[in-house]
Amino acid sequence: MKKITIVFDHPYGKEAGYNEPHNRSFTSALLVAVIQALEKQSAQIDLIDLHQDQFNPVMTKTDLLNWRTHPFVDTQSQNYFERLQNSDEIIMLFPIWWEMMPAMTKGFIDKVFAKGQIQEHRGITRRLFSSNTKVRVLTVSGAPTWIYKVLYGNPVGRMLKRGVFRKSGVKNFKWHNFNAEDVSPKARAKMLNSVAKYI
Protein backbone atom coordinates (compact mmCIF):
# COMPACT_ATOMS: atom_id res chain seq x y z
CA MET A 1 0.00 0.00 0.00
CA LYS A 2 1.39 3.39 -0.99
CA LYS A 3 1.93 5.89 1.81
CA ILE A 4 1.07 9.39 0.68
CA THR A 5 1.40 12.54 2.75
CA ILE A 6 -0.52 15.65 1.72
CA VAL A 7 0.71 19.03 2.94
CA PHE A 8 -2.30 21.35 2.69
CA ASP A 9 -2.27 25.12 3.15
CA HIS A 10 -5.47 27.12 3.00
CA PRO A 11 -7.16 29.07 5.82
CA TYR A 12 -10.64 27.76 4.95
CA GLY A 13 -9.67 24.14 5.51
CA LYS A 14 -11.07 20.97 3.97
CA GLU A 15 -14.58 21.95 5.09
CA ALA A 16 -14.69 24.59 2.34
CA GLY A 17 -14.27 21.96 -0.37
CA TYR A 18 -17.94 21.10 -0.91
CA ASN A 19 -19.11 24.13 -2.91
CA GLU A 20 -21.31 25.63 -0.21
CA PRO A 21 -22.12 29.35 -0.71
CA HIS A 22 -19.95 31.67 1.43
CA ASN A 23 -17.87 28.70 2.54
CA ARG A 24 -15.99 27.46 -0.49
CA SER A 25 -12.49 27.43 -1.89
CA PHE A 26 -11.24 25.74 -5.04
CA THR A 27 -8.04 24.81 -3.21
CA SER A 28 -10.17 23.03 -0.61
CA ALA A 29 -12.26 21.38 -3.31
CA LEU A 30 -9.02 20.20 -4.88
CA LEU A 31 -8.00 18.62 -1.57
CA VAL A 32 -11.30 16.74 -1.40
CA ALA A 33 -10.85 15.53 -4.99
CA VAL A 34 -7.26 14.43 -4.30
CA ILE A 35 -8.32 12.44 -1.23
CA GLN A 36 -11.14 10.77 -3.15
CA ALA A 37 -8.78 9.85 -6.00
CA LEU A 38 -6.24 8.39 -3.57
CA GLU A 39 -8.91 6.41 -1.75
CA LYS A 40 -9.82 4.79 -5.07
CA GLN A 41 -6.16 3.76 -5.34
CA SER A 42 -6.37 2.27 -1.80
CA ALA A 43 -3.50 4.52 -0.74
CA GLN A 44 -2.65 5.18 2.89
CA ILE A 45 -3.28 8.93 3.29
CA ASP A 46 -1.68 11.19 5.89
CA LEU A 47 -3.03 14.75 5.82
CA ILE A 48 -0.99 17.61 7.25
CA ASP A 49 -3.35 20.58 7.47
CA LEU A 50 -1.09 23.45 8.50
CA HIS A 51 -3.89 25.78 9.60
CA GLN A 52 -5.74 23.10 11.53
CA ASP A 53 -2.46 22.22 13.25
CA GLN A 54 -1.90 25.93 14.05
CA PHE A 55 1.59 25.67 12.58
CA ASN A 56 3.69 28.79 13.21
CA PRO A 57 5.68 29.56 10.06
CA VAL A 58 7.85 32.24 11.68
CA MET A 59 11.51 31.30 12.15
CA THR A 60 12.52 32.79 15.51
CA LYS A 61 16.08 33.29 16.74
CA THR A 62 15.82 30.08 18.79
CA ASP A 63 14.39 28.22 15.82
CA LEU A 64 17.25 29.33 13.60
CA LEU A 65 19.83 28.24 16.18
CA ASN A 66 18.11 24.85 16.37
CA TRP A 67 17.99 24.67 12.56
CA ARG A 68 21.76 25.13 12.44
CA THR A 69 22.89 23.11 15.44
CA HIS A 70 20.23 20.49 16.28
CA PRO A 71 18.64 17.59 14.38
CA PHE A 72 15.30 19.45 14.27
CA VAL A 73 13.83 22.87 14.96
CA ASP A 74 10.94 21.81 17.23
CA THR A 75 8.88 18.72 17.95
CA GLN A 76 6.09 19.67 15.53
CA SER A 77 8.56 20.15 12.67
CA GLN A 78 10.25 16.86 13.55
CA ASN A 79 6.90 15.09 13.49
CA TYR A 80 6.21 16.53 10.04
CA PHE A 81 9.64 15.53 8.77
CA GLU A 82 9.28 11.93 9.93
CA ARG A 83 5.90 11.68 8.22
CA LEU A 84 7.35 12.99 4.97
CA GLN A 85 10.38 10.71 5.20
CA ASN A 86 8.18 7.66 5.63
CA SER A 87 6.08 8.52 2.57
CA ASP A 88 6.27 7.09 -0.92
CA GLU A 89 4.76 10.28 -2.29
CA ILE A 90 4.46 13.85 -1.02
CA ILE A 91 1.67 16.06 -2.35
CA MET A 92 1.82 19.78 -1.62
CA LEU A 93 -1.39 21.70 -2.19
CA PHE A 94 -1.76 25.47 -1.84
CA PRO A 95 -2.97 28.64 -3.62
CA ILE A 96 -0.60 31.03 -5.36
CA TRP A 97 -0.81 34.50 -3.84
CA TRP A 98 1.13 37.40 -5.35
CA GLU A 99 2.87 34.86 -7.59
CA MET A 100 4.30 32.96 -4.59
CA MET A 101 3.29 30.38 -2.01
CA PRO A 102 1.52 31.41 1.21
CA ALA A 103 3.57 32.01 4.35
CA MET A 104 2.50 28.72 5.95
CA THR A 105 4.00 26.67 3.11
CA LYS A 106 7.23 28.68 3.03
CA GLY A 107 7.59 28.40 6.80
CA PHE A 108 6.93 24.67 6.58
CA ILE A 109 9.86 24.28 4.19
CA ASP A 110 12.09 26.56 6.27
CA LYS A 111 11.50 24.66 9.49
CA VAL A 112 10.93 21.05 8.43
CA PHE A 113 13.85 20.81 5.99
CA ALA A 114 16.36 21.48 8.76
CA LYS A 115 20.13 21.25 8.39
CA GLY A 116 20.28 18.55 11.05
CA GLN A 117 18.13 16.25 8.94
CA ILE A 118 20.65 16.07 6.08
CA GLN A 119 21.74 12.47 5.57
CA GLU A 120 24.33 13.08 2.89
CA HIS A 121 26.03 16.20 1.59
CA ARG A 122 27.88 16.21 -1.73
CA GLY A 123 28.42 19.56 -3.34
CA ILE A 124 25.05 21.28 -3.51
CA THR A 125 23.09 18.04 -2.93
CA ARG A 126 21.50 17.79 0.51
CA ARG A 127 19.87 14.40 0.79
CA LEU A 128 16.76 14.48 2.97
CA PHE A 129 14.54 11.95 1.23
CA SER A 130 14.91 8.78 -0.78
CA SER A 131 15.53 9.35 -4.48
CA ASN A 132 12.45 7.12 -5.03
CA THR A 133 10.16 9.60 -3.28
CA LYS A 134 7.61 11.19 -5.60
CA VAL A 135 6.68 14.85 -5.13
CA ARG A 136 3.59 16.37 -6.67
CA VAL A 137 2.83 20.06 -6.23
CA LEU A 138 -0.70 21.21 -7.03
CA THR A 139 -1.41 24.93 -7.00
CA VAL A 140 -4.37 27.19 -7.69
CA SER A 141 -3.90 30.63 -9.24
CA GLY A 142 -6.00 33.50 -10.49
CA ALA A 143 -3.69 34.15 -13.41
CA PRO A 144 -3.74 31.69 -16.32
CA THR A 145 -0.94 29.15 -16.08
CA TRP A 146 0.73 30.24 -19.32
CA ILE A 147 0.93 33.83 -18.03
CA TYR A 148 2.35 32.59 -14.73
CA LYS A 149 5.04 30.69 -16.63
CA VAL A 150 5.87 33.23 -19.34
CA LEU A 151 5.39 36.60 -17.61
CA TYR A 152 6.50 35.65 -14.09
CA GLY A 153 8.85 32.76 -14.86
CA ASN A 154 7.01 30.14 -12.76
CA PRO A 155 8.73 31.08 -9.46
CA VAL A 156 6.94 28.45 -7.34
CA GLY A 157 7.54 25.54 -9.70
CA ARG A 158 11.18 26.43 -10.34
CA MET A 159 12.00 27.15 -6.70
CA LEU A 160 10.45 23.94 -5.41
CA LYS A 161 11.86 21.71 -8.14
CA ARG A 162 15.40 23.10 -8.33
CA GLY A 163 15.94 24.92 -5.07
CA VAL A 164 14.23 22.55 -2.63
CA PHE A 165 13.48 19.02 -3.78
CA ARG A 166 16.27 18.41 -6.27
CA LYS A 167 18.77 19.53 -3.62
CA SER A 168 17.00 17.21 -1.18
CA GLY A 169 17.62 14.13 -3.32
CA VAL A 170 14.21 13.95 -5.03
CA LYS A 171 14.22 13.33 -8.77
CA ASN A 172 10.58 12.53 -9.42
CA PHE A 173 8.96 15.97 -9.20
CA LYS A 174 5.93 17.35 -11.06
CA TRP A 175 4.00 20.59 -10.71
CA HIS A 176 0.52 21.35 -12.04
CA ASN A 177 -1.39 24.59 -11.69
CA PHE A 178 -5.18 24.93 -11.82
CA ASN A 179 -6.55 28.25 -13.03
CA ALA A 180 -10.06 28.19 -11.60
CA GLU A 181 -10.85 31.89 -11.74
CA ASP A 182 -13.17 33.29 -14.40
CA VAL A 183 -14.15 29.85 -15.66
CA SER A 184 -17.54 28.15 -15.64
CA PRO A 185 -18.70 25.74 -12.92
CA LYS A 186 -18.57 23.01 -15.56
CA ALA A 187 -14.92 23.80 -16.28
CA ARG A 188 -14.09 23.71 -12.56
CA ALA A 189 -15.82 20.35 -12.21
CA LYS A 190 -13.80 19.05 -15.15
CA MET A 191 -10.58 20.18 -13.43
CA LEU A 192 -11.53 18.38 -10.23
CA ASN A 193 -12.38 15.21 -12.14
CA SER A 194 -8.95 15.28 -13.78
CA VAL A 195 -6.98 15.31 -10.51
CA ALA A 196 -6.04 11.59 -10.58
CA LYS A 197 -3.69 12.04 -13.54
CA TYR A 198 -1.59 14.61 -11.68
CA ILE A 199 -0.88 12.63 -8.51
CATH number of 3-198: 3.40.50.360
Q: Identify whether the C-beta of residue 94 lies closer than 8 Å to the C-beta of residue 105.
A: yes
Supply the angle between the helices 75-85 and 103-112 in degrees, to the nearest 10. 80
Query: Which residues in the chain land under pLDDT 70?
Result: 22, 120-126
Domain locations along the chain: 3-198
Q: Which among 156, 137, 123 is positioned nearest to 198, based on CA atoms? A: 137
Segment 37-90, tens digit of pLDDT: 999 999 999 999 999 999 999 999 999 999 999 989 999 999 999 999 999 999
